[in-house]
Structure 1
Amino acid sequence: MSSPDLLIGVDVGTYSSKGVLVTLEGEVLRQATRPHGIQVPQHGHVEQDADGVWWADTASILRELTVGVTERVAGVACSAIGPTVLPLDVAGRPLRPGILYGVDTRAQAQIDALNAELGPDAILAHSHMALTSQATGPKIRWLREQEPEVWAQTRTLTTASAYLVYRLTGQHVLDHHTGAHAMPLYDPRTQAWTDTYAEAVLGDRNLDRLPRLAWSDERAGHVTAEAAAETGLRPSTPVAVGTVDALAEGLSVGAVQPGDLMVMYGSSTFFILTQTAPTPDPRVWSVGGAFAGQVNLAAGMSTTGSLTRWLADETARELPIDEAYAELFAQAAALPPGADGLLLLPYFSGERTPINDPQARGVLAGLTLSHTRAHLFRAALEGVGYGIRHNLEALRDLGADVRRLVAVGGGTRGRTWLQLVSDITGQPQEVPQVTVGASYGDAFLAGLAAGVLTRDDLDRWVKPGDPVVPNPAVKPEYDRLYALYRELYTQTKSVVHGLGQKG
């Protein structure tokens, strides 16, 4: 039998899971997708079922991709939404749905308590970032305080990508990028778990509940006989440690050199800047990279692609979703900058960076009877563009070296949104020829973990595409509107916070 010559990557996102079967040269042979939803049991609580969504999608995709080629698969890697919190019992079974990343804002009281007990300056010095809704430490404390019956049965605390690794290999392994968000349980200097502040989160100093830490391209283990029966994979197939979807997206487009900034246009917008040294700042997140020795500066908006999906669902429900998007994007593209006087804050599930305000809400200003759904849609696209500019300015304010913007994700399929963002930010963006997404980056990680690829092979996998160049003619107008966007948040913040309070 010839040596295995195919790789599989699977990514579980917020609204769908995707998988690819790829050759060692980076050619995509097969793709598979599984749509799914989220659970919002109450405002601020956003969850997904670990077995019914994460594992069910992954196993189904793997069965589809491996038909007729099981023996040729050299390795597999998974990424997923993150950082999430999933408690497992002693048998490795989920005790409740997974608590999602920064769009889940349930733990604000625990953030406030940790800041009061430990001090925000001490937390920043210890973790290289401030506590926000993206951090999993406060959510672990929320679980301990609000669901003591679940906590009493919890043997392992894991996250979405690590749970997939566990189901494939029987090993609890977590990548450093995701582990850094379990603050203040992770020490970025030693790149290891620490019990310094463990009692404030866990109630004790027992770190055995946490998975083993490793780098994304390392081998977590091998496919077990049980997992092989469920997935169609060959027993003993190497499995990579994997990572969160955003980091895999960055890898998929080659944004791995210092100064490379990946902008991921997904259900949320995520930014990952590759660095050689950390630049701690409370506005953003300083975390480990995919590979040993790398540091990432990360940031993220909460509702971007999910906002456009909401608008399509609510204003064009008579059309299938693909047709709704095509019509709304075409209509929005025909409108002038500023959507005829309409301005939108895209904070529909609080906001992450750089304002880190879980109580923020969407605001639509300037409505008149002449505005249409096309105006609403363009205002949403521009609102996201202003949010991206706000994040870019925050990165530069703290001294980060941003040399190149590389765009990836579902929002890059058309040029309308990309052009708006480049016009608003004044920054060109690169869009590689192949923008399959995180699953493509996962396939590359699978090759590294299996030992059939080296990092230098990424240059063969990623092929440059045409850049998106800003239009200087519209910059003055967008500069004016961006200033109003910043002022709109400041002027409406207290009103919005008041609306969110229960009477």
Structure 2
Amino acid sequence: MSHQEHVLGIDIGTGSARAGIFTPDGVMLAEAKTPIAMHRPAEHHVEQSSTNIWRAVCSATRRAREAAGVSAASVTRMSVSATCSLVLLDKAYRPLALSPGEEPWDIIVWMDHRATVEAAECTATGGAPLANLGGTMSPEMQMPKLKWLKRHRPALYEQIGYAGDLGDWLGFHCTGSFERSVCMLACKWTFDPRPGHGWDRDFLARIDMADVIERAALPETAQPVGVDLGALTEAAAADLGLTTGCRFSVGMIDAYAGALGTLGRSLTDAPKRRLAVIGGTSTCHIAAQPERCAVPGVWGPYPGALGDAFVANEGGQSITGALLDHLVAMFAAGGEFGDDVHGALSEILLERLAKGDPAPHTHVCP
């Protein structure tokens, strides 16, 4: 890659899509952010729209490239980190709407807990994939969500022609490739990337999901993070303001991308002594080591999810960042900190911490 070429990074969080233009050695030249919409049709149901997210990705990409002052042709590589939300497409690969509205609400958001009963049923099987999930299936994973659809929305389930993590869907939307990231399949789909494992069809049959591999267009293998997925299609390139000379690389779940950037060289220097804590709408704690290490109650071990030759484990707390939003909103002065509330409050706290612990005997645990 020459010095005249650039890399595009896309991050799709819970509330916004972000784009950054980078030099090949990792210097960010510019970034842009566009909010994305959320739909809550019922308690524990949280939905988004892939159409809305695509518009946000394209808007952020165009503005980031313009701010960086680089040509469309100079952006020769791109990849994505994204939440583990579930995108549903019909057999013609169009958005498959879960709820009526102006937007096709075709995404079950990661934090959606409609499938709590189905997750418990998966756990009750005691199936082999549970050994990679700390022994318990989460309603935030994809098999319980699809099982819920099969049970409660059978007509919609029959229409599914593609179901995938948001990051894998972006790769499909940009290139047409059906390949999936090992990070996403291993962490959220019960796929075991170890040689001789793959999909546990006995487990899928026991949870009445034997048809899911064909219905969701799931591959039999998972691609390592960073592998070349293909060139942008003409339509995707036109929407993004790029060219078909830009190639898409296999991406990651957003927390894992954060963990890879946070741990960095310590994966080889001291992998057993460091833990990445990634804060956002939720808080994720991710560690990696060369050997498989199963911990009851902790997700993983996930081979390859964080990088080749490393096995990852993940814990954390859901919606901790959203809880901070809630706490700020409860106070009358919460609206006095501008658009970046967390940034403003962080500056105040850091100033106070520099002078010593401002509340040495106070701990707040909502």
Calculate the TM-score normalised by the size of structure 1: 0.61
Q: Which amino acid in 1 is paired with 2:203?
A: Y
The answer to whether structure 1 residue 119 and structure 2 residue 122 are counterparts is no
Q: What corresponds to 2:336 in structure 1?
A: 319
Structure-2 separation of matches of 1:44 and 1:302 = 13
The answer to whether structure 1 residue 269 and structure 2 residue 268 are counterparts is no
Q: What corresponds to 2:295 in structure 1?
A: 281
Q: Which amino acid in 1 is paired with 2:120?
A: D
Q: Is the 8 A contact 1:270 1:299 kept in 2?
A: yes
* Higher Rg: 1
Q: Is the 8 A contact 1:66 1:233 kept in 2?
A: no
Q: Which amino acid in 2 is paired with 1:319?
A: E
Q: What corresponds to 2:108 in structure 1?
A: 99
Cα 1:140–1:19 shift into 2, 3 Å: same
Q: Which residue of the other structure, out of 211, 214, 222, is the alignment partner of 2:218?
A: 211
Q: Deviations over 1:275-301 (max 9, x none)?
A: 212222341110232322221111121
Q: What corresponds to 1:155 in structure 2?
A: 161
Structure-1 separation of matches of 2:78 and 2:343 = 34
**Cα deviation, residue 206, structure 1:** 5.5
**Cα deviation, residue 119, structure 1:** 2.6
After TM superposition, list the pairs within 5 Å mapping 1:458-497 onto structure 2: 474=360, 477=361
Structure-1 separation of matches of 2:263 and 2:247 = 23
Q: Deviations over 1:396-444 (max 9, x none)?
A: xxxxxxxxxxxxxxxxxx577xx6xxxxxxxxxxxxxxxxxxxxxxxxx
Q: What corresponds to 2:312 in structure 1?
A: 296
Q: What corresponds to 2:118 in structure 1?
A: 110
Q: Is the 8 A contact 2:180 2:250 kept in 1?
A: yes
Structure-1 separation of matches of 2:39 and 2:23 = 36
The DSSP-based 3-state class of the residue aligned with 2:275 is: strand
Q: What corresponds to 2:102 in structure 1?
A: none
Cα 1:247–1:328 shift into 2, 3 Å: closer
Q: Is the 8 A contact 1:215 1:290 kept in 2?
A: no
How many residues are aligned here?
Answer: 340
Q: What RMSD, in angstroms, separates the aligned Cα atoms of the two structures?
A: 2.9
Q: Which amino acid in 2 is paired with 1:295?
A: V
The DSSP-based 3-state class of the residue aligned with 2:201 is: coil
**Cα deviation, residue 269, structure 1:** 0.8
Q: What corresponds to 1:223 in structure 2?
A: 232
Q: What corresponds to 2:42 in structure 1?
A: 42
Q: Which structure's relative contact order is higher, taking Cα pairs within 8 Å and 6+ residues apart? A: 1
Q: Deviations over 1:190-228 (max 9, x none)?
A: 363332222244533452334332111111111111111
Q: What corresponds to 2:171 in structure 1?
A: 165
**Cα deviation, residue 189, structure 1:** 3.2
Question: Which moved further from structure 2: 244-253 or 317-326?
Answer: 317-326
Q: Which amino acid in 2 is paired with 1:270?
A: C
Calculate the TM-score normalised by the size of structure 2: 0.83
Structure-2 separation of matches of 1:113 and 1:323 = 42
The percentage of aligned residue pairs carrying the same residue is 25
Q: Deviations over 1:98-143 (max 9, x none)?
A: 1122x22111111222233x236x5533656421233221111111
Structure-2 separation of matches of 1:20 and 1:230 = 17
Q: Which residue of the other structure, out of 72, 75, 80, is the alignment partner of 1:73?
A: 75
The DSSP-based 3-state class of the residue aligned with 1:296 is: strand
Q: What corresponds to 2:62 in structure 1?
A: 63
User: Which consecutive residues of structure 1, in runs of 5 or more, have no partner in the other structure?
Assistant: 334-413, 420-467, 489-503
Q: Deviations over 1:46-103 (max 9, x none)?
A: 22111112x1111222222334411111200111111x222211221121321122x2
The DSSP-based 3-state class of the residue aligned with 1:20 is: strand
The DSSP-based 3-state class of the residue aligned with 2:202 is: coil
User: Which consecutive residues of structure 2, in runs of 5 or more, have no partner in the other structure?
Assistant: 98-105
Cα 1:415–1:240 shift into 2, 3 Å: farther
Structure-2 separation of matches of 1:270 and 1:36 = 22
Q: Is the 8 A contact 1:127 1:188 kept in 2?
A: no
Q: Which amino acid in 1 is paired with 2:13?
A: G
**Cα deviation, residue 312, structure 1:** 2.6
**Cα deviation, residue 247, structure 1:** 1.0
Q: Is the 8 A contact 2:132 2:294 kept in 1?
A: no
Structure-2 separation of matches of 1:226 and 1:326 = 37
Q: Which residue of the other structure, out of 221, 244, 255, is the alignment partner of 1:246?
A: 255
Q: Deviations over 1:138-159 (max 9, x none)?
A: 1111111111111111112211
